[in-house]
Amino acid sequence: MSTHPTRIAPSLLAADFSCLAQQIDRVEQAGADWLHLDVMDGRFVPNISFGIPILESIRPKTRLFFDVHLMIVDPQPYLAPFKDAGANSLTIHIETCPQPTSILREIRAMDLQCGLVLNPSTPVETLFPFLGELDLVLVMSVEPGFGGQSFQPQALQKVEALRDEIERQAIHLPIQIDGGVNPQNATSCRSAGVSILVAGSAVFRAEDPSRAIADLRT
C-alpha cells in the first residue's frame, strides 16, 4: 500500500458536455480531489476531445486541481497556453517525448507539477531514468483515446515494478492509474502501489458520485 495520500481524480471525458459547470460541481461536492482532463489531438490517439478554451471556461467554476493528461503528438508548444488556461499539472507521454528531461524541467520551471505516462504496450523500464524529474508517474490501464473501456490487469505489474524502482531510487513519487478504474479494481490498484486513481465512467456516470468516490477511496 502506498504511503502517499489517496486521491480520486474523476476524468471529465465521461461528463455530460452540455453542462460542464454543473457536472464538475457535482463531483467536487461528492469529494473529488482532482479533476483529470484528457486532451486528445486525433493524431497521437484516434479521438479528439477538448483543449485550451474549455479549460479557460471551467477554471473559474471550481477549486479542483486540474490534472491535465496531454495525449498530443507535440506537447512542448502548448505548455504555456495550458498553464495560462489554469492547469496545475501537465502529464506527457513518453511515446511522444522519448527524451523528456528538458520538457519536464520546463513544466516545473513554470511552477506546475509534471507527470510522465506510458501506453500499455510500452515497457515500464523506459520511464526509470526520468523518475527523479517527476511529481507523478501515470500507468495507462487501457489504450488511450476513449473512456469506458475495460481495465487491463497487466497494468498492475507495471505499477509494482515502478513501486520497486521508486523505492530503489529512494525518491518520493506517487503512482497514478488511468483507464477502467472502478470500485471493484481500486483495492488491487492500491495494494500494487497506486495512490492517485483516475476514474471517468465510474464517477461521472454513477447515480451517486459521493458513494462512487467513497468506494474508490476505501
**Binding footprint of ligand DX5 on the chain (CB under 6 A):** 11, 13-14, 36, 38, 69, 142, 144-145, 147-149, 178-181, 198-202
d(CA 195, CA 133): 18
Catalytic residue selected from 38, 67, 135, 215: 38
Query: Out of 33, 41, 67, 178, which one is annotated catalytic?
Result: 178
Under the binding rule (CB under 5 A), the answer on residue 178 touching Zn ion is: yes
Handedness of CA 175, 108, 87, 69 (dihedral sign): negative
- Dihedral sign for Cα atoms in the order 19, 21, 27, 29: negative
Give the one entry of ligand DX5, Zn ion, none that residue 181 binds, where binding means its C-beta sits below a cut-off of 5 to 8 angstroms depending on kind: ligand DX5
135: annotated active-site residue:
no
Residue 147 interaction partner, one of ligand DX5, Zn ion, none, beta carbon < 5-8 Å per kind = ligand DX5
**Which of 81, 68, 67, 61 is CA-nearest to residue 20?**
61
Q: How far is the CB of 5 from ligand DX5 (least distance, A)?
A: 20
CB of 7 to ligand DX5, least distance (A): 14
199 is in the binding site of which of Zn ion, ligand DX5, none (Cβ under 5 to 8 A by kind)?
Answer: ligand DX5
Rounded to whole angstroms, the Cα distance separating 217 from 158 reads 21
Q: Is residue 195 within a helix (H) or strand (E), and if so which, with residue range?
A: strand 194-199
Q: Which residues are catalytic?
A: 38, 178
